[in-house]
A and B are shown apart, each in its own frame.
Chain A
Amino acid sequence: MIFGKPITFMKILVVEDERELAKSIVQYLRQESYVCEIAYTAKDAGEKIMLHDYDCILLDITLPDGNGLKILEKLKKESKLEGVIIISAKNSLDDRIQGLNLGADDYLAKPFHLSELGARVSAVIRRKRFAGNNVISFHEISIDLLGKSMQVNGKEVDLTRKEYDLLLFLASNKNRVVSKNAIAEHLSGDDAEVFDNFDFIYAHMKNLKKKIAEAGSKDYIKTVYGLGYKFEA
């Protein structure tokens, strides 16, 4: 019970041998009222998987005592294929394909923005946990994930694809500051580096806020100095 709303605790296992990175991930995700556990080794991860059911597993595939892909195979055998997101320093196509073929839901290359991880985790969990219910709501705002649309007080707001992606990204990281860098990379991927500045984000943001305001909603998107934005709900 964090924001005075009923919350179903979702359990996440972070399998990552780099302790500081694991700590950051856990700290970040805890703000979204997830319950996180950490496994620093493949052995530890294997034991935890046998004992508990997780909604999402973040799996580093290069572990000191074994390949993380082995854990994935094990999960598949046990038919405990929770939403697995592979986090890898390798970023090699083979790993990605092999991981996804083994049943991983997503693949995230190191280094990543925690907000990007947050968005991926929330997408995986929504898919697993709320199959059928694909609407995220905050007060008068609701985001329809299937229709990729947004309503304010039940009234459709016409958003461009980028505006919708931007809104969903912020909403997936609600109450946390999301940097302009992370937004640029989320919206444009590697091509973000082509932009000389992040003015384009500012332009999208301005339009998004204007549309939401015109639809009669409160302004939930706060600007954090020159750093980024925060969706407060």
Chain B
Amino acid sequence: MKLLTRTVRNYVIFSVLLLVVCTPLFYFFIQRLFIHKMDQELLEHKIEFGELALLLKTDQDLKFFSIMNEEFVLTPTDQIVETDSLLTVPIYNEEEKEIHPYRVLRTGTIIQGKPYRLQIQESMVSTADLISAIVAIQATLIALLLLGLVLINQKLSRTIWDPFYIILDKLKKYQIDKDSSLELPRSTTAEFRDLSSAISQLVNKNHEAFQSQKEFTENASHELQTPLAVIKGKIDMLMQTQLSEKQAELIYVMQDAAGRMARLNRNLLLLAKIENQQFLEQESINLHTLVEKMVNQFQEQLEQKNLMLSIEQSNAFEISANGTMIEVLFTNLFTNAIRHSPSKSTIKMMLKEGAFSISNKGEPLHNPDKIFDRFQRDAGTSHGSGIGLAIVKRICDNYGYTIQYRYQEGMHEFKVNFGNQVRR
């Protein structure tokens, strides 16, 4: 959830709650207030009636009074009513032919020495209308107020948080291997200024570390070549001396290890060079020709393991990339497939729809997620340098190709999608 949505959501929840709780409360209070006021009026009427009652001398007067003042209802009774009672009752209104709520004061009175029941009634219709109107206006006001609050807050937040979003966007787009520094906006808000400078520092330090790590790999690999050359040379010289079988065996192992180290070093250097973007020249490469070349190149290796090849391809397509890199990419995929194929199995290749895939038989991997990491080898296959697939991944990343690994039906499959770089 976005920051803005979160704050605004809280405001909205609060305002809705406020509206829901306050409107009935408000209505209730106003109503109470009005009823209280009406009751007071009714009691005043009662006192007024007491004064008027003295003037009603005859039955004629009484009848006339009843017609003139509909709110006073007099009913003769046997007992003297002493108590006053106030209540709301529905009464049929003759004029509007409707039942209306009335506030009623029921009491007793004595006119010309005879006890009467007196009911003073006041219609509550106009009062109710008034209350409704007041409540409606109040509710609208509250609603408008809250809406305004939310809108203003939203707009304010947007301007206030603007630098934050710019920083976020720049950070997302930052690529440590491509951009050297990060240009962040200057903000007048202290927090964002701090954030900017903290991020800038972090990025600079990271970039430096990345740079020196890259240089280190390349320099270390370079520097290792010469001592390795000395070792290899001395082993070759040692081989020329009179040897016993035991010594020959020892030399063989040493030589093998030195050879492995040399290959590893060469591959590390290659990886460092790819990471340092040292292969820039581009050319047009026909992938069909390249695959054919690879098949020829690895003919002997295929024969040695009795491997079959099945190639499925559609019409030719070309990509534009560095020749060396693409050759390394294909060589490594081939090498990997051949190395991990059991003898007498089939390697399947597909070159179509802008993608190349190669699959070989084999047992499932223990760590398929780490297949493109450096020095990830499954136990028992220690022949590779362990960085062939890391190089493959790196080359794909460089050119924006996607590479996928999957295991299905007992086959390991690598698929390189050349994306929109393909020319048919």
Contact = CB atoms under 8 A, between A and B. Distances in A.
Interface of A: 18, 20-21, 24-25, 27-28, 31, 89-93, 109-115, 162, 176-177, 179-182, 185, 188, 190-191, 193-196, 199-200, 224-228
Q: Which of B233, B234, B251, B298 lies at the interface centre, i.e. has the most chain A CB atoms within 10 A of its CB?
A: B233
B288 interface: no
A163 B261 CA distance: 28
A186 B301 CA distance: 15
B260 to A, nearest CB: 8
B372 to A, nearest CB: 19
Contacts of B262: 111
A181 B226 contact: no
Contacts of B335: 191, 193-194
Interface residues of B, number: 46
A225 B245 CA distance: 6
Interface of B: 222-223, 225-226, 228-234, 236-237, 239-240, 243, 245, 248-249, 251-252, 255-256, 258-259, 262-263, 266, 269, 273, 278-279, 297-298, 300-301, 304-305, 324, 331, 335, 338-339, 383-385
B274 to A, nearest CB: 12
19 contacts: A24-B236, A27-B237, A91-B269, A92-B278, A109-B225, A110-B228, A111-B233, A114-B236, A177-B239, A179-B236, A181-B259, A190-B331, A194-B301, A196-B339, A200-B304, A224-B243, A225-B243, A225-B248, A228-B239
Contacts of B256: 181
A21 B233 contact: yes
Given A89-B222, A177-B240, A114 B304 contact: no
Contact of B232 (A27, A93, A113, A180): A113
A227 B229 contact: no
Q: Which of A89, A185, A199, A200 lies at the interface centre, i.e. has the most chain B CB atoms within 10 A of its CB?
A: A89
A162 B303 CA distance: 14
Q: Which of A20, A180, A188 lies at the interface centre, i.e. has the most chain B CB atoms within 10 A of its CB?
A: A20
A223 to B, nearest CB: 11
A232 to B, nearest CB: 13
Contact of A111 (B231, B240, B252, B273): B231
Nearest to B239: A177
B236 A115 contact: yes
Nearest to B305: A196
B332 to A, nearest CB: 10
A226 B248 contact: yes
A112 B229 contact: yes
